[in-house]
Amino acid sequence: MHGFRRQALALACILSLQGPVAMAQSSEEEELALAYGDRASVSIATGSQQTLRRAPSVATVITAEDIAAIGATDLDEVLETVPGLHVNRTANHYSPLYVIRGVFSQMTPQVLVLQNGAPITTLFQGNKGNLWGGYPVEHIARIEVIRGPGSALYGSDAFSGVINIITKAAADTPGTEIGARVGSFRSGDVWVQHGGQIGGLDVAAYLRVGDTDGFKSTITRAAAGSSGPVNVGHNSVDGNLDLSHDKWRLRLGYKLRDRLETGAGIAQAVDPVGRGKAERFTGDISWTDPQFAKDWGIGFTTSYLYYSQEIPSLYQLFPPGSNLGGGVAANGFLGGPETWERQLRFSGFATYAGFAGHTVRLGLGHDDLNLYKTHETRNFTYAASGALIPNPGGVVIDYTETNPFLRPNRRKVNYVYVQDEWNFAQDWTLTAGLRRDDYSDFGGTTNPRLALVWDATLDLTAKLLYGRAFRAPAFIEAYGISNPINQGNSKLRPETNSTVEAAFSWQVRRDTQVNLSLFRYNMKDIIRAVPNATANTGSTYVNAGNQNGRGAELELTWDANRALRLSGNIAWQRSIDETTGQDAGYAPHRHIYARADWRIDSTWQASAQVNRVADRKRFSPAGAARDTRPDIPDYTTVDLTLRAIRGKEQWDIAASVRNLFNATVLEPSLAPGTAIPNDLPMAPRSLYLQAIYKL
């Protein structure tokens, strides 16, 4: 870096000699930073703060200012703007699936979602929980996204990418803010957040309450002939508390989703009666001292996650009068699988910079992952053939002890990792890392990473990256019982993914930034439900597939002047299932996003964005009937937002229109498509009005 620093110093001297011109440029850059936030740094790539341009990964940073500018009301709307990331849906509760670079599965647990660096993965299905019900954005300070493997630092599930949601601290939200929003589909929420000090303690607090009926687009045909509107209504409560003093920090979170409707149905049959409830408590306490001693920094974190999925109103899996091979169910087939889990995680790290040109990071940790309670009631039993046999008289029986879908299970993980950032030559840095995870149930796995970063010129940085990642089997995949349709398999191995990337960051001009990334990956031992060899006995989860993919992502940001910023990205990918030779399906081959932000004057701001999702194929797993439906239809949506920002002790007003031209938006239903042949309809045009008062 010595040469780079000399060049930067020389440039600074030249600018200082330019007098008023340099001052004007500096002023403009400060204005842009205030309008769009700090995107120049990232911590997710190595565990410590560094410039985004030189981070040893392909990363994206989205600021609170970005979120406000596009009028987003939910995390999914924000993530859809990330290159190479598309938000699909599952029929089950319409839960979002974060599909990165073409890696798709039924629940898509291959993306690790963090909140303030702590996983919010649930044990039951390995994802963030199907009873999700959205995630509000008012309390988010920034979102950092890695596209590509991250297991060398984060362990399981950091497979195709990592998403870290960083909530606001006291400095991010000074004073008190009261907000309210109303919108289409009888949606409304109110919130209050505050940042300040109590004595020597920094305090940030947030509380939101909301509810929605959800849009009612029609499922034209579903399993067992049931049809009707999508059901996505719910009530919600969200809260956060952030306390910090000196080197200590305590963060607490709460997320409740009640009366959560079932989307297109748990079994892809429209369910007008089933309701779910999900409750999530999170907490972490950390102590960090980056200057603990000469050349040494140390820190530790303890985090806790409680998550429950309860069914206060039993799911109607199939409608009244259905016959699933075992007789007619006059009241329909009803069931209520419930889970409760606790996760306790301990981790510590130390950094050492005493070797010339090296910064070494050592880390270790222990996870105690306990799905400690399950409960199931239903009005039917399973036959060995997979048929559903109604209970006499349609009586609902508690099968928790006799024939449950899953029994309590516990998993313990110990891990250790090492990472070295080596500035081995002028303007060259090599980051090498290795992590070993040992699981109490399936053994160990070791995952490396290498990242070579070269500051080729003052304006151009090039990266060559390699990483290996894994995903541990979810509890339902490893231990599921009593359901002959998909049986668990305790002998499962983790899925693996090896990825090679090349990335370039080019500051074309002072006002123009271009980023390009190229990637190629290979997935092995994919966990899938495969029909059993003996007839009429359903499927079992096995390691039964490989997949390879390649693609490119191009990003552009142009500050046309002080008032106008144009930005956008284009992502292309192609993924092939090696068992069938087919396209791996469901993810867009082409994804285009464009945005314009216009500061009309000191008070008014306007934003427009265009999102095009194109060229999505179907996929038929090996051994299944071929899905002969046409490709999933392309779509283009346009969103507009107008904001009036008036400062403290005044109302800030915003209005947003999403899907302005009422485009037909469909997300794919899975093969063979006989349950929901016409895919999953998404929301039509919608309008939201928001008011915020800052004290």
Tens of pLDDT along 7-20?
A: 333 333 333 333 33
pLDDT at 15: 31
CB contact at 8 A, 148 and 177: no
Residue 134 is given by DSSP the state: -
Nearest 10 degrees: Cα torsion 84, 87, 91, 94: 160
Count CB atoms within 10 A of the CB of residue 583: 19
Tokens encoding 423:
């500035």
Place of tokens 């081959």: 589
Where are the domains positioned within the chain?
37-694
Residue 474 is given by DSSP the state: P
pLDDT at 534: 58
Q: Using DSSP, how many helices (H) and how many strands (E) does the chain show? A: 6, 44
Place of tokens 């406000």: 68
In terms of Cα–Cα distance, which of 580, 572, 570, 661 is closest to 621? 580
Count CB atoms within 10 A of the CB of residue 65: 17
> Which residues make beta-bridge pairs with 86?
99
Rounded CA separation 181/163 (Å) = 26
Count CB atoms within 10 A of the CB of residue 20: 7
Tokens encoding 448:
């490396």
**CA-to-CA dists, residue 453 to 33, 151, 435, 456, 502, angstroms:** 26, 20, 21, 9, 10
Count Cβ neighbours within 10 Å for each residue of 458-484 and write b for 16 or more, e otherwise.
eeebbbebbbbbbbbbbbbbbbbebbb
Element (H, E) at 307: strand 296-313
Place of tokens 């007789």: 327
Q: Which residues of the chain have pLDDT under 50?
A: 1-33, 535
Q: What is the DSSP string of 584-628?
A: --SS-SEEEEEEEEEE-SSSEEEEEEEEEEE-B-----TTSPP--
CB contact at 8 A, 189 and 236: yes
pLDDT at 16: 32
Sign of torsion over alpha carbons 173, 179, 182, 185? positive
Rounded CA separation 235/255 (Å) = 11
Element (H, E) at 323: strand 322-323
CB contact at 8 A, 463 and 453: yes
Element (H, E) at 279: strand 275-293
pLDDT at 10: 38
Sign of torsion over alpha carbons 670, 673, 674, 678? positive
Count CB atoms within 10 A of the CB of residue 642: 17
Residue 664: helix, strand or coil by DSSP?
Answer: coil
Residue 325 is given by DSSP the state: B
Angle at 94 between CA 93 and CA 96, to 5 degrees: 120
Nearest 10 degrees: Cα torsion 127, 129, 134, 137: -60
- Total-model pTM: 0.93
Tokens encoding 334:
């009803």
Tokens encoding 187:
């949606």
C-alpha 20, offset from chain centre: 45
Rounded CA separation 44/62 (Å) = 13
Residue 150 sits at φ, ψ, to 5 deg, of -140, 15
Residue 41 sits at φ, ψ, to 5 deg, of -125, 160
Rounded CA separation 477/523 (Å) = 18
Rounded CA separation 610/593 (Å) = 6
**Distant-in-sequence, close-in-space partners of 83: CB < 8 Å, separation ≥ 6:** 60, 147, 517, 553, 554, 555, 569, 570, 571, 591, 593
pLDDT at 467: 97
Residue 197 sits at φ, ψ, to 5 deg, of -130, 145
Rounded CA separation 671/212 (Å) = 30
Q: What is the DSSP string of 248-272?
A: EEEEEEEEEEEEE--BT-TTSS--S
Crossing angle (nearest 10°) for helices 20-36 and 2-17: 120
Tokens encoding 333:
């087939």
In terms of Cα–Cα distance, which of 530, 224, 533, 537 is closest to 383? 537
Q: Give me the CATH code for the 37-694 domain, please.
A: 2.40.170.20
Q: How many CA atoms does the CB half-sphere of 313 hold within 13 Å?
A: 12
Bridge-based pairing of strands 486-487 and 539-543 is parallel
Q: How many CA atoms does the CB half-sphere of 431 hold within 13 Å?
A: 22
Place of tokens 């880390």: 363
CB contact at 8 A, 570 and 558: no
End-to-end CA distance of the chain, in Å?
Answer: 45
Angle at 54 between CA 50 and CA 60, to 5 degrees: 80
Rounded CA separation 348/288 (Å) = 10
**Burial classification of residue 313, based on how many CB atoms lie within 10 Å of its CB (0-12 exposed, 13-18 middle, 19 or more buried):** middle
